[in-house]
Every structure is written in structure tokens, then in C-alpha cells.
Amino acid sequence: MAKTKITVNNNGSLRIEGEFEIVDKEGNVYGLGGRELVSICRCGLSKNKPFCDGSHKGHFEHDAQAFDLPPKKQ
């Protein structure tokens, strides 16, 4: 299986790179035009959702710091 990397950017998008597929709630695949890197909107302001168009600049703040989730409930 190919490795996919998701980076949570400070004050911005989720950057997805590698081999991946993005589908809508019905399971329809978004055509990515051969891209192996896309940015997904987290702020809700993009006019191109689910993809980032840079609308977050100056309107969205989040300091991305990694942390451990608690153990999964059984």
C-alpha cells in the first residue's frame, strides 16, 4: 500500500500528498486531474470546497500541534 501523508497546516488547510482518493458522501470520486497533492479546506470559507482556495488567510486561526489521542474505547 502506498503511503499517504496529511499535514495539518497552521492557520490553514489540510495538505494531502501521496496516493489517495477523495469521495463525496455518495461515494462519487472527485476528479483530481492526476494530482498527488491537494489542500482541503478547514475554515469553511473556500468557494471551491472541499478544496482550499486560500480564503482562510486572515480569517482562521489554529496552531497545529500534534498530540496523542486517548486509547480507543472497546
pLDDT in tens, 9-36: 999 999 999 999 999 999 999 999 999 9
The number of distinct structural domains making up the chain is 1
Torsion angle, alpha carbons of 33, 37, 38, 42, to 10: 160
Global pTM value? 0.85
Q: Show Cβ contacts of residue 16 under 8 Å, excluding neighbours closer than 6 positions.
A: 4, 5, 6, 22, 37, 38, 39, 40
Residues 6+ apart with CB under 8 A from 17: 4, 5, 7, 36, 37
21 assigned to some structural domain: yes
25 assigned to some structural domain: yes
Residues 6 or more apart whose Cβ sits within 8 Å of residue 62 = 8, 10, 11, 42
Whether 73 is in a domain gets the answer no
Question: For residue 5, what pLDDT is reported?
Answer: 97
Q: Is residue 65 assigned to a domain?
A: no
Establish if 42 belongs to a structural domain: yes
Contact 20, 4 (CB under 8 A): yes
Q: Could you tell me if residue 44 is inside a domain?
A: yes
- pLDDT category at 74 given cuts 50, 70, 90 is confident
Residue 46 belongs to domain spanning: 1-60
